[in-house]
Amino acid sequence: MMELTQHLSVPTQIDFLKVSSYGSGTSTSGRSTSSSIRPGTLLEKNVLIVDDVVDSGLTLKAVRELFRTRNCKSIRLAAMLDKKERRLVKMVPDYYGFVIPDEFVVGFGLDYNEDYRTLPYVGILKRSVYEK
């Protein structure tokens, strides 16, 4: 998020919504859990939803639908990584950094079971770490 904000040239307010469908696994459960959005905070606002990885698309679709109920002026989607091979629903981010293969990646904020998040790069996690 910090890297992204360095390139924004308009006044910006940032809020965080914790959403997850992975839990401690390496694949989506198909169900998203999230914290709540304060009522009225998005009314007539231009919203950029930022995600780390667009994978199945299920979580981002659910978040976008939630934001649509908040009467936003506009909603755009951005992701650092786009894993197109795993898409289960039609979900195309408006902006993305890189298209990646169907591998589980960690680093630069991405984690596996809360580990590897602080690596200064994005790398593929060896299957031997999570397939025990």
Task: Give the catalytic positions in this structure.
Answer: 55
Angstrom distance (rounded) from CA 49 to CA 69 = 14
Going by C-alpha positions, the residue among 65, 53, 60, 51 that lies closest to residue 26 is 53
Going by C-alpha positions, the residue among 32, 33, 60 that lies closest to residue 48 is 60
Say what the alpha-carbon torsion angle 33, 36, 41, 47 is, to the nearest 10 degrees: -10
Instruction: Confirm if 32 and 20 have CB atoms less than 8 A apart.
Output: yes
How far is residue 40 from each of residues 12, 15, 69, measured CA to CA in Å? 17, 13, 11
